[in-house]
Amino acid sequence: MSPPGRFTVEAWTVPGTDTDVVSVAGELDRDTMAPLSTALEEHVGAGRVVVDCSELAFCDSSGLNALLGARLRALENGGSVELSGLRRPVDRMFEITGVRAVFQVYETLDEALAETTL
C-alpha cells in the first residue's frame, strides 16, 4: 500500500470531444501505480487520452510500462495515448529509455487540448 497522498490521479472527459485527460501527480512507481492502471483501463479505448504529467515528480519502469501498455491498447482500438507537461527528471528518463519517441508529447495540457477536435 502506498503512503497517502504520495501519488494521485484525476480523470475526466473534455466535453463535446473524444478526448479524455488523465492527470497524474506525485511519485509513480510499483507501489503507487494501481490508481493509474485503473484510470487508464477506464479511459483508454477508441478515443484520445492525454496524460497530464505536469505534476509528476518521479516515474519508474512500472509507470513506463503502464503507459506503454495503455498506448498499445489504444492503438489496437483506433485511439491514442499522448503525454503533456513532462518535467525533469521524468522527461529525462523518458528520453533516455526511448519512450518519449513513441508518444506524441506536448509542452502543456493547454497545448494538447488545443489539438482536440470538437
Q: Are 36 and 42 in contact (CB under 8 A)?
A: no
pLDDT tens-digit map of 53-108? 999 999 999 999 999 999 999 999 999 999 999 999 899 999 999 999 999 999 99
pLDDT value at residue 116: 72
Rounded Cα distance between 77 and 91, Å, is 27
pLDDT value at residue 5: 74
DSSP assignment of 45-63, as one string? SSSEEEEEEEEEEEE-HHH
pLDDT tens-digit map of 9-45? 999 999 999 999 999 999 999 999 999 999 999 999 9
* C-alpha cell recorded at residue 71: 498506448
